[in-house]
Amino acid sequence: MKTVLIIAPHPDDAEIAMAGTIVKMVHDGWNVIIIDLTNGEPTPHGSTEIRTKETQQATRILGIKKRICLNLPNRRIGNTIENRGKIAELIRLNKPDILFTPFQIDWHPDHCAATELVQAARFEAKYHETDLKGTPHWTGKLIFYISQHRFQYPQPTFVIDISDTWQEKINAVKCYKSQIKNASPSSPANLLNKTVTIAKFFGLTINSAYGEPFIADQPLALKPESLLNS
Cis (ω within 30 of 0) for the bond into 42?
yes
In the complex, what is the shortest distance from the CB of residue 195 to Zn ion, in angstroms, rounded to a whole number?
13
Give 13 or 161: the residue with its C-beta nearer to Zn ion.
13
8 contacts 34 by C-beta, under 8 angstroms:
yes
Give 68 or 206: the residue with its C-beta nearer to Zn ion.
68
Residue nearest to Zn ion (CB): 10
In the complex, what is the shortest distance from the CB of residue 144 to Zn ion, in angstroms, rounded to a whole number?
14
Residues of span 3-62 touching Zn ion by CB under 5 A: 9-10, 13
Any bridge partners for residue 31, and if so which? 3
In the complex, what is the shortest distance from the CB of residue 13 to Zn ion, in angstroms, rounded to a whole number?
4
In the complex, what is the shortest distance from the CB of residue 81 to Zn ion, in angstroms, rounded to a whole number?
23
Give 51 or 92: the residue with its C-beta nearer to Zn ion.
51
Give 41 or 164: the residue with its C-beta nearer to Zn ion.
41
Q: List % helix, strand, coil for the chain (3-state, nearest 5).
A: 40, 15, 45
User: Residue 153 and residue 137: Cα distance in Å, rounded?
Assistant: 32
Q: What DSSP string runs through 115-155? A: HHHHHHHHHHTT-SS-S-SS-----SEEEEE---S-S-PPP
Residue 169 lies near Zn ion (rule: CB under 5 A): no
Residues of the shown chain interacting with Zn ion in the complex, contacts defined by CB under 5 A = 9-10, 13
